[in-house]
Amino acid sequence: MIAGVVVARNAREAVAKIREGNADLYEVRLDRFESFELAPLKPFADRLIITIRRAEEGGFRRIPEEERLELYRRAMTLKPRYVDVEARSEIAGEVMREARKRRVGVILSHHDFEGTPPFETLMEILQGMASMAPDVVKIVPTANSHLDNVRVLRLYEHAENLVAFCMGPLGRISRLFSALLAPFTYASLEKAVAPGQMSVEELRQLLVMLDGR
Amino acid sequence: MIAGVVVARNAREAVAKIREGNADLYEVRLDRFESFELAPLKPFADRLIITIRRAEEGGFRRIPEEERLELYRRAMTLKPRYVDVEARSEIAGEVMREARKRRVGVILSHHDFEGTPPFETLMEILQGMASMAPDVVKIVPTANSHLDNVRVLRLYEHAENLVAFCMGPLGRISRLFSALLAPFTYASLEKAVAPGQMSVEELRQLLVMLDGR
C-alpha cells in the first residue's frame, strides 16, 4: 500500500487533494495547517494517517508540545486509521494512551535527517520503539551511500509491521524496496515533501516495471 | 555498468547482437554455440565476458569438463575482459591459472536455482570464493521471498568487486539494487536468459526513474 502525503493549509484543501489522489492511504500533515476545522476529513478517516510532525524531525513549523498534544486529541475524534507520533517526543506516551482508548492505530516514528547509524544502533532504536508496543514502527534515516540502505533493509529481518527506508536521493532504492516489504510506504501527491521522496505515480510505475508483467 | 547476455549459435550471430546492443559489457554464452570459430569476437574483446556455463548451474547443454577447459583456453586467446567459471567446477583452478598467465580477468561464479541460504552460509560461500582471489565474485541464488534479497544484499557490506543478486521474479529488486552496488550487473539483450532477468532497456529505464532526475 502507498500512503500519499497531503500537504495543505486546512481540511478542505486536504480533502480536495485526497479526492484527486491515487494513493491507498493519506498522511495529512496537520503541522502544515493554518486553521483546524477538521470535520471535512471525517469521511476519509479509515484511510488517514494524522501526523503533527515536530520541528526537530522535519515539521513545517515549531508547535509547543502541549499544543501538539491537544491537536492529537482533536484529530483522534475523527477516528483516523493511524496517528503518527515521534518516539523521541515528550508526548509520545500520552498520545499512545489516548489512541488506545479511542482504538486509533499508532505509528511510532523516528527520523534522522543527517545519516544512517550502524546496524547495532538501528536495532537499539527499533527495540526501544517496539517495546512501546505501537501498531507500526517507522524508522527513516538518511542515505549517504547506496550501502546505507542495506543496513536499514536488514531491520525487516527483525520486525513485522515495520516501515523502514532511507531518505535522500541515494535512499530511493530502499523506498522502492519498502513498498515490497512494509505494510505501506510513503509517496508524495505532488512535489516531494521529504528528501528523495517519489510521487505516488512514480512509485506505482516503478513497481509495475519491477514486477515485469 | 550493465553486461548484456548474448545468446547466439556462433560468433557471427553474437557479433550481430553485440552491434545492436546497448550494454556496456557483453557476456557471450559459449555453452550455447554450435560452432567455435571465435575470431569475429576479437574486436569486442575488451568488453567481453566469456562464459561456458556448466549444465549443473544453468548451462544450455552438458559439456564434459575437459572439453569445457579446452574451450576456455581457446576463448582466452581472444584476451576477453573476463572469463566466468563456476567456483564448484573441477576446472575452476586450472581456468584461473591460465587466465592469470594471459592477463584475462576471472569472474568466479556460484548459482543456486532453488533458493537463498541463510546469511552465514552465504558468507561461507563468499569467503571460500574470495580465498581463490578472483577478480570478481558472482553469487546468484534464487529469491523465494522479497526478504531473501536482503540477505544477499548484505554481502556487499563484506566484499568489494562483488556481483550479488537473486534470480526469480521476486529477485528483480536486488538485480536493480546490484546495478547501484556492483561493478556491473547482468541484463538480457532480448528475452530473459535467467529467471527474473530484466532487459538492458528495462534496467536502464528503472535506473533513470530511480535516479529521479
Look up the ipTM and state it.
0.93
User: In the prediction, which pLDDT does B25 show?
Assistant: 98
Contacts A–B by Cβ distance under 8 A: 65
Task: Using a pLDDT cut of 90, give the percent of chain A over it.
Answer: 94
Tell me the domain boundaries of chain A: 2-211
Question: What's the pLDDT score for residue A93?
Answer: 97
pLDDT at A213 over 60: no
Instruction: Check whether A196 has a pLDDT greater than 90.
Output: no
Q: How confident is the model at residue A177 (pLDDT cuts 50, 70, 90)?
A: very high
Whether the pLDDT of residue B64 is over 60: the answer is yes
Instruction: Say what the pLDDT of residue B212 is.
Output: 67
A137-151, A160-174, B18-32, B182-196: least confidently modelled range: B182-196
Q: Which of A138, A146, A158, A191 is catalytic?
A: A138
| Mean pLDDT, all residues of chain B | 96
Distance from CA of B172 to the nearest CA of A (A): 6
| Active-site choice (B101, B110, B138, B191) | B138
Tell me which residue of A82, A87, A146, A84 sits closest to A112, measured CA to CA.
A87
Q: For residue range B38-57, what is the model confidence (pLDDT) as tens digits?
A: 999 999 999 999 999 999 99
Is A138 an annotated catalytic residue? yes
Annotated binding-site residue? A53: yes
pLDDT higher than 60, residue B80 = yes
Asked if the model's pLDDT at residue B213 lies above 60, the reply is no
A212 and B169: CB-CB below 8 Å? Answer: yes
Model confidence at A212, in pLDDT bands (50, 70, 90)?
A: low
Residue B157 has its nearest CB partner, among A147, A157, A176, at A147
pLDDT mean over A36-50: 98
Q: What would the pLDDT profile of A80-127 be if each residue is shown by its tens digit?
A: 999 999 999 999 999 999 999 999 999 999 999 999 999 999 999 999
Question: Max alpha carbon distance in chain B (Å)?
Answer: 50
Task: Give the three cell numbers for residue A142.
Answer: 538518511
Is A146 one of the annotated active-site residues of the chain? no
The full DSSP string for chain B is -EEEEE--SSHHHHHHHHHH---SEEEEEGGG-S----GGGGGGGGGEEEE---GGGT-SS---HHHHHHHHHHHHTT--SEEEEETTSTTHHHHHHHHHHTT-EEEEEEE-SS----HHHHHHHHHHHHTT--SEEEEE-B-SSHHHHHHHHGGGGS-SSEEE--BSGGGHHHHHHHHHHSS-EEEESSS-SSTTPPBHHHHHHHHHHHHT-
Min CA distance, A85 vs chain B (Å)? 27
The confidence band for B131, taking pLDDT boundaries of 50, 70 and 90, is very high
- B181/A contact by beta carbon, under 8 A: yes
Q: Is B89 helix (H, G, I), strand (E, B) or coil?
A: coil
| Gyration radius from chain B CA atoms | 16
What is the topology classification, in CATH, of domain A2-211?
A: TIM Barrel (3.20.20)
As a whole number of angstroms, the distance between CA B135 and CA A22 comes to: 47
Per-residue confidence band for B194, with pLDDT thresholds at 50, 70 and 90: confident
- In the predicted model, is pLDDT for residue A188 greater than 70? yes
| Total length of chain A | 213
**Burial class (CB within 10 angstroms; exposed 0-12, middle 13-18, buried 19+) of B160:** exposed
User: With the C-alpha atoms ordered A118, A119, A124, A127, is the resulting torsion angle positive or negative?
Assistant: positive
Cα separation of A159 and A123, whole Å?
Answer: 10
pLDDT confidence of residue B119? 98
At A87 the three-state DSSP class reads coil
Neighboring chain A residues of B197 at a CB cutoff of 8 Å = none
Predicted confidence at residue B149, as pLDDT, reads 98
Distance, in Å, from the CA atom of A139 to the CA atom of A111, rounded to the nearest integer, reads 6
